[in-house]
Amino acid sequence: MARPQVKAELPARFATEPEALAFLQGCVGSTYTVEAVEKKPGKRSPAAPFTTSTLQQEASRKLGYGVDRTMRIAQGLYEQGSISYMRTDSVNLSEFAINAAVDAVTTNYGARYSKSRRFASKSKGAQEAHEAIRPTDFMVRTAGADRDAERLYDLIWKRTIASQMAEAELEKTVVNIAISGHANEKLVAQGEVILFDGFLKVYMEGRDDEEGDEQEGLLPEMRQGQQLQLQEMAATQRFDRASPRYTEASLVKKLEELGIGRPSTYAPTISTVQKRGYVVKESRDGVPRPYRVLTLASDAITDATATENVGAEKQKLFPTDIGMVVNDFLVEHFPIIVDFNFTANVEEEFDVIAEGKEDWRAMIKRFYTPFHQTIGTVKDTAEKATGARELGIDPASGRKIFSRIGRFGPMIQIGEVGDEEKPKFASLRKDQSIGTIELKDALDLFKLPRTLGERDGEVVSVGIGRFGPYVRFGATYASLQAEDDPLAIDLARAIELIDNKKAANQTRDLGEYQGEMLTVGRGRFGAIREGR
């Protein structure tokens, strides 16, 4: 009879490879016996209905919407009467909404799935002027002017309905497995089975954790004293990882936790820092890193090296050079204003004013007088923030080389303003930063613009401008692709890019209409159609 297959973990972690190897060696020839099987009943409760911030977070996780896009779509749903007001930090539902949800749950899933709930806001400064975000009519299953709106409405409907449904009933099984070769160590296997799905029939809340626990599965039936056969035991090398960068959703969550802003400010705050170039949202490739894996199977230990991708980020928020320079300037000169607790403290003072316990004029004067003095002092004494960093000496001229922020963004500067010879400047590439670029890479930038050759008597060159690397042929400019290196690109590739650009800009006659020729082509702002 085949023995059940179980995946178990050792509670302890080994600090070094020799410790892991010694443990595996002790397991050679060991027997594995089920020492205890414990089954625990459990329940899982649904999340509260949506507030502005939780809607933005969940729409990002499940639908891939940015916070600004989510709010624009929600605004449309609200204006057409499909959902309640979408700028709120309340999780409360009215009695009318709760009763309507009960009817909808009972009609769609049966009475056993229905359970009325009233949620309370955990946020200290929450304003309960509005309900949570909910459908205005729970019997309307689909709403929205387009597919994006339909998907967001569906998310709101499911979240609200699930909040008024019964808990999911679970049974969690924990199995302790004794190892004959290690009397003081146990292997632990955990499994979970859903006895009644409850609200899970409709909705499961997403999560931001990138390194979450593995999904627990169903364990085979086991009994105390049962003998198990080891198929494989692996000791895998792992490294500490830096905290993941923020997505728009996780940043909204953090802003809410810190009490920074209100529901109506999250989307414009995040979009503004991106529009002004302080932050970019993009995906970045990681770098390969080897790690060791020791494996015990058939009483033999093997040693292998595997590779993992480290540092890969998908649609995360990254500070730009300009953003870091501006942040450092504000932290140095306006520490009170950029303190995490500043907004929350001001909100508390506003609450005191609203209760009539303080005069608003006194509060404003207490803040503005020292703030105005600080502005004057900074304006008169602070130097212009450039984030300048000295990289070394230019071997050709003997002058100092700096990385800094200039009028058109991050750049490299050879020489100083007071020198007899004017400083030379070169823009950084998008994948370079003033904080990390090294001398060699900085000097390479001054090799541009670079002449690649000629075509039809016109010079073809490559350079880096305000909007990134480009190739130029007469009056035609074409941007380089991500795989093109401006220091390595050849004439053939440059001509290919230029020809593609010209082809994209060409016009085409569509035919005559009402005595005029219709032409289609591309203009400065995209595709155009005009009569001539």
DSSP 465-503: ETTEEEEEETTEEEEPPTT--TTT--HHHHHHHHHHHHH
106 token code pair: 């009972």
Would you say 254 and 281 are in contact if contact means Cβ atoms under 8 Å apart? Answer: no
Q: Is it the case that residue 419 has pLDDT exceeding 70?
A: yes
Sheet with 400-406, edge to edge strand ranges: 389-393, 400-406, 409-414, 424-427
Has 278 been annotated as catalytic?
A: no
pLDDT tier, 5 (very low <50, low <70, confident <90, very high otherwise): low
17-45+169-207+209-246+277-314: CATH topology: Topoisomerase I; domain 3 (2.70.20)
Query: Amino acid letter at 351?
Result: D
What is the tens place of the pLDDT at every residue in 109-139? 999 999 998 988 765 555 556 789 999 999 9
DSSP secondary structure string for all residues of 58-100: HIIIII---HHHHHHHHHHHHHTTSBS-S--------HHHHHH
Q: How many CB atoms lie within 10 A of CB 108?
A: 15
Angstrom distances, CA of residue 387 to CA of 319, 376, 380: 14, 22, 19
Q: How far apart are the C-alpha atoms of 440 and 169, rounded to whole Å?
A: 62
User: What mean pLDDT is predicted for residues 364-391?
Assistant: 89
For residue 49, the 8-state DSSP code is P
Tell me the domain boundaries of the chain. 17-45+169-207+209-246+277-314, 52-166, 321-381, 389-445, 464-532
Minimum mean pLDDT range among 27-41, 203-217, 308-322, 339-353: 203-217
Quote the tokens at residue 268: 């414009």
What is the rounded average pLDDT of the residues 75-81? 94
Strand partners, 477: 472
Dist. CA 432–CA 275, nearest whole Å: 20
Q: If pLDDT is split at 50, 70 and 90, which confidence band does 523 have?
A: low
Tens digits of per-residue pLDDT, 326-357? 999 999 999 988 888 888 788 888 888 988 89
Per the CB < 8 A criterion, the answer to whether 97 and 131 are in contact is yes
Residue 260 pLDDT exceeds 90: no
| Residues 66, 59: Cα–Cα separation, whole Å | 8
pTM above 0.85, yes or no: no
Q: Which of 32, 65, 78, 85 is catalytic?
A: 85
- Kindly tell me the number of DSSP H helices and DSSP E strands found in the chain: 12, 20
Q: Are 365 and 376 in contact (CB under 8 A)?
A: no
Q: Which helix (H) or strand (E) holds 328?
A: helix 321-333
Q: Which CATH architecture has domain 52-166?
A: Orthogonal Bundle (1.10)
Whether 435 and 324 have beta carbons less than 8 Å apart is answered as yes
Q: Label residue 427 by pLDDT band (50, 70, 90).
A: confident
Long-range Cβ contacts of 255-259 (<8 Å, 24+ apart):
255/53, 256/53, 256/89, 256/123, 258/340, 258/341, 258/343, 258/344, 259/123, 259/124, 259/125, 259/341, 259/343, 259/344, 259/347
